[in-house]
Amino acid sequence: MNNLSDKFQKAKTKLMLEHPYFGSIASALKFVKDDNIESFQSDGTKFSYNDDFINSCSIEEIEFSLANAAMHYALAHQNRKHTRQNWLWQLATDYAINTMLIKNNLFPPERINYQSRFENMYAEEIYAILENEIDDKDYTQEEQKSEKIKHIEDEEAQFLEQLLQKAITQDELPKDLDRFFPTINQSHIDWRNRLYQYIHRHAKEDYRFFPPNKRYIHQGFALPSLSSELLQIIVAIDTSGSVDENLLGKFFAEFQAIMQSFSNYEIDLIACDSKIQYHQKFYPGDTLLYQTKGGGGTDFRPVFRYIDEHINNPTILIYFTDGKGFFPEIEPTFDILWVLAKDEVAIPFGESLPVFGA
């Protein structure tokens, strides 16, 4: 492997590990050597680069360059150019992207297009400012019309949307990205995404270089395999009379979805109304076969007593309930997420997540 290929591989790997959203998009780009440009550029489909420039860059600077190209692709800037001057639109989009990348602590090359005055601005806004500052009479309207515009196909759009939703779900959304995607807003993130954000914040990931991740081998570089450490959580389900069969079924369905979403886990499931009705520890491959018991009043205190007496070193409790019951007087030391069937329930401690409209 030559020095240039080695630097590209290291930069791709670093970007995938530290900024998986940018790295996943960059992995879909085509790489093209072009000695007619000074550094690098992206037209939304390929990453064009000058050999000498890449050789002069550090791994961190190449990482930044790849993230820049990834965002040109993700934001479909060529689709939004319309009749604007190509070179000036490219400059405006660079300014918009690079301010965001710097906020995410990526290290820019020396000759990058960056001005702090363009922070928090869209490419269209930046273009209007630059157009007033630059008078280019040599660029004709016919040249503008003849430039190719790359249209994102349905398959590519679906790929980008999946990456975006994955970043939201796993709480890996880059800083300031919501400025480019107005639909990214907590009010638009459904409760299931928030639930998995909560779990992923506690599920530590361990990256190992052997064996390599086969998914990216055909693209010419070896990324480390992702091996999840053991996910250990406790899930409690309210089986009291105030939880009807429909809601109870949804609670158990979500528990099963959690089992299917992780490859390595140890989950304690506790069912309780006014007393403990059921406890089972689940491991990968186990099947959820449980006939609901309960139907009495709602008391959360038995679950916390049971955890203290029977479960070593608890870290997370996810409690599915309607929230109407007796709470412990003393707040436990572990983290708690109350997944509530009502949006107007007073919770004395822990985080709450209403699932109205589930």
pLDDT in tens, 13-36: 899 888 888 888 888 888 889 988
Quick check: is 195 in a domain? Answer: no
Q: Name residue, tokens 């693209």.
A: 219
pLDDT at 145: 36
**277 and 131 in a common domain:** no
And the tokens for 170? 């796993």
In this structure, are 43 and 182 located in the same domain? yes
Q: Is the pLDDT of residue 276 over 50?
A: yes
48 or 355: which carries more pLDDT confidence? 48
Cα separations (Å) of 294 from 236, 271, 297, 325? 13, 8, 9, 14
Judge whether 203 lies within some domain. Answer: no
Q: Tell me, yes or no, whether 178 lies in a domain.
A: yes
Kindly state the helix (H) or strand (E) to which residue 320 belongs, with its residue range.
strand 316-321
Residue 356 pLDDT: 52
Q: Are residues 240 and 175 in the same domain?
A: no
pLDDT, position 2? 65
| Same domain membership, residue 308 and residue 168 | no
Q: Work out the pLDDT band at 159, boundaries 50, 70, 90.
A: low
- Is the separation of the CB atoms in 358 and 339 below 8 Å? no
Q: Give the orientation angle of helix 154-169 with respect to helix 191-202, to 10 degrees.
A: 60
Encode pLDDT of 70-129 as tens digits: 888 887 766 666 777 888 888 888 898 999 999 999 999 887 888 989 888 888 888 888
In-domain check, residue 217? no
User: What distances in angstroms separate CA 210 from CA 1, 18, 118, 189, 224, one per listed residue?
Assistant: 19, 18, 43, 35, 7
Asked if pLDDT for residue 167 goes beyond 80, the answer is no
Share of the chain above pLDDT 90, in %: 20
Structure confidence at residue 315 (pLDDT)? 87
For residue 144, pLDDT over 80 is answered with no
Number of domains comprising the chain? 2
What CA–CA distance (Å, rounded) separates 229 from 214?
A: 20
Cβ atoms 259, 292 nearer than 8 A: no
| 288-310 pLDDT tens trace | 876 666 667 889 999 999 999 99
pLDDT of residue 328: 93
Per-residue pLDDT, 190: 59
Residue 270: what pLDDT?
94
Q: Could you tell me the residue range of the domain that residue 23 belongs to?
A: 3-188
181 and 235 both lie in a single domain: no
Residue carrying structure tokens 């007033």: 132
Q: Which pLDDT score, from 0 to 100, does residue 332 have?
A: 92
Residue 106 pLDDT: 93
The predicted structure's pLDDT at residue 62: 92
In the predicted model, what is the mean pLDDT of residues 3-9? Answer: 85
pLDDT 10s digits, 228-264: 457 789 999 998 888 878 788 888 888 887 887 777 7
Same domain for 167 and 60?
yes
* Domain contains 273: yes
Residues 312-330 pLDDT 10s = 888 899 999 988 889 999 9
Structure confidence at residue 73 (pLDDT) = 84
Does 184 lie in the same domain as 285? Answer: no
Instruction: Assess whether 54 and 160 both reside in one domain.
Output: yes
CATH number, domain with residue 326: 3.40.50.410
Q: Closest Cα partner for 226 from 235, 215, 240, 242?
A: 215
Band (67; pLDDT cuts 50, 70, 90): very high
Tell me if 211 is assigned to some domain. Answer: no
Please tell me whether residues 173 and 239 are part of one structural domain: no
Q: 101 and 183, same structural domain? A: yes
Residue 333 within any structural domain of the chain: yes
Of 137, 157, 188, the one marking the end of a domain is 188
pLDDT single digits (tens) 198-220: 777 776 443 333 344 444 444 44
The predicted model scores a pTM of 0.51
Considering the domain architecture, whether residues 32 and 179 belong to the same structural domain is answered as: yes
Q: What is the pLDDT of residues 30-64, one digit of tens each?
A: 888 998 888 888 876 788 898 898 889 999 999 99
| Domain end residue (candidates: 188, 216, 244) | 188
Mark whether 159 and 241 lie in a shared domain.
no
The region that residue 323 occupies, defined by phi over 0 for left and psi between -120 and 50 for alpha, beta otherwise, is left
Residue of higher predicted confidence among 282 and 150: 282
**Is residue 224 scored above 80 in pLDDT?**
no
Does some domain include residue 142?
A: yes
How many Cβ atoms from other residues are within 10 Å of residue 142's Cβ? 7
**Domain final position from 188, 215, 250:** 188
